[in-house]
Amino acid sequence: MTPRYLINPGFSTKIHPYADCIIIGSGIAGLSTAIRLSEHTIKVLTKSSFSASTTWYAQGGVAAAIKKPDGWKKHYEDTITAGQGLCDRKAVEILVKNAPEMIENLIEIGTNFDIIDGEISLTTEGGHSYPRILHAGGDATGEEVEKSLVSFTRELKKVNFIPDYFVLDILTSENRCLGVTGFDTKRGEIEIHPSSNVLISTGGIGQLYEISTNPSISTGDGIAMAYRAGAEIMDIEFVQFHPTVFRTNDGELFLISEALRGEGAYLRDCRGNRFMIGKHPLAELAPRDIVVKEMIKTMEISRCNFVYLDATHIPMSLLKIRFPNIISKLNENGLTLEKDLVKVSPAEHYLNGGIWTDYNGRTGIEGVFSCGETAATGAHGANRLASNSLMEGLVYGWRIYQNIGEKLKKSNSGQKETLSDLNKLIEKSKKEIRSSKVLKGSPMDIDTLILKLRSMMSQNVGILRNRAGLERAAEFVNFHIENKNLYDRKDIDALEFANMLTVADLIIKSALIREESRGTHLRSDFPERDDKNWKKHIILKKDKVRFKKVR
């Protein structure tokens, strides 16, 4: 059996003061919630620097129907269509109806969206029937949004930022939140942060794969800690791959925004032929799962490991305004959008599922919330509509703020009960620890094991799957996941690897259960979509499986 904790809380050497809310993660979901809750004592714990968040790397933009003839109903329809029959309709309605107000909130805190002729500039991306993608700095939307959020929150006296801090686990008693354990990597100490409200907004899982657009910190920590604490995990088999990722001369990966195709760029096979014509009415602007599927087919037929992205017909005056970062990166690699076809291929990009939440961001554990890519609200279904991710973090962060805010208005915030139960938990944990208080573990080549896991996931649990491959991956994960040498040790790589194994295990289990192809989950042994048997969510909890009908 997998241990309950990465590191037993009995090893803690310090208990920090109680906080009204602890936020794990410093992307758009976490920081926007911190701003709204800033009249209370808030801690923002983040594993790395603020510029390492997934938000920072978002190029394309944020989706909101802010200009007629577009409207929330059209945005709703596009999202439902992209979700391939698995979207929660109420969750989508909450998302798209509140999107325009979230844009106003971002502008109020200093976000500078691109302006043309005195109006906010809008573009189109895959699956959108109208231009509704707001962008900033051309193709640096995430960076601009993150900078404005960080700048604003740094001025808030009650918001305490703790960067370079590895959160280990959610602490609970009788399914109620007591706080978190954390690893101060600079001092090498295990610590406890008490709180009856914890928000998990730790981003994605990209490091489980060899090729990903995610930052290096995206090891699925939030999902793993929530699962260990007893939360439910939903739709985790739906891993989205971005169609257009460029490999630089030094081997690094660089995302080329879907917005480039929104401005008219084509996809061509290695012989120069456009292959999306006739495959979907929107051609290159079809939803991502459809584009990726056709790219894979095309690459197999032509025996090339890439396709071309062609923007040579688009005026350079427009390209320079909209895509300065992409142009700069390509120039560094001896290419220009004006003259050259750019080799691209798919890479892991976004997790559609995650920690199950209700419409207020609440998980099944009292006091534990989740939003952003870590959460599964049901708004994305089997395939996220482009640029809905940043907006989902904003909207559901706002819902969480309302819920926590109401709790904190009450005279009895639960602080005394939380601290009392926490002390009991620590005493019990200390009794479980053997006489040695020094955390040790047998030598392990963690770097090699991580590389093997990434290879196994990419080959067998990537874009195209089948039972044989999934079972090979499961065998590898099952062999390592219960290795006690991964736990109770002050080794970030080992702890991250344990989290990665937990998330990989969840993805593989769900992918084996879902015997159909839908959205971003493609089974070569079950190539058809099966609404009769599989129009439902798969939910995992502590080795239990249940199914939930689509609402």
- The catalytic residue positions are 288
In terms of Cα–Cα distance, which of 179, 228, 212 is closest to 23?
179
Residue 128's nearest CA partner among 214, 60, 28, 57 is 60
Nearest CA to 87 among 75, 104, 69?
75
Provide the 8-state DSSP code for 31.
H
CB of 166 closer than 8 Å to CB of 224: no
Residue 411 DSSP label:
S
Distance CA 321, CA 269 (A): 27
d(CA 547, CA 35): 36
Judge contact between 339 and 48, C-beta under 8 A.
no
The two most distant CA atoms of the chain are separated, in Å, by 71
* Residue reference for tokens 């698995």: 86
Across the chain, how many H-helices and E-strands are there?
A: 15, 26
What number of residues does the chain have?
551
DSSP state of 18: P
The candidate with the shortest Cα–Cα distance to 509, out of 464, 546, 458, 459, is 546
The whole-angstrom separation of Cα 409 and Cα 348 is: 42
253: which strand partners? 247
- φ/ψ of residue 348, rounded to 5: -55, 135
Query: Is the link from the previous residue into 346 a cis peptide, with omega within 30 of 0?
Result: no
Evaluate whether 201 touches 374 at the Cβ level (below 8 Å).
yes
- Residue 214: what are its φ and ψ, rounded to 5°? -75, 155
Distance in angstroms (rounded) separating the CA atoms of residues 546 and 87: 18
Tokens encoding 231: 């939360």
User: Which residues, in sequence order, are bridge partners of residue 165?
Assistant: 184
Q: How big is the chain by its Cα radius of gyration, in Å? A: 23
Q: CB neighbours of 315 closer than 8 A, spacing ≥ 6?
A: none
Is the dihedral angle over the CA atoms 528, 85, 461, 307 positive or is it negative? Answer: positive
The DSSP H or E segment spanning 173 is strand 165-173
Query: What DSSP assignment string belongs to 265-317?
Result: -EEE-TTS-B-STTTSTTGGGS-HHHHHHHHHHHHHHHT-S-EEEE-TTS-HH
Q: Decide: residue 158, CB within 10 A, 0-12 exposed, 13-18 middle, 19+ buried.
A: middle
First-last CA distance in the chain:
34
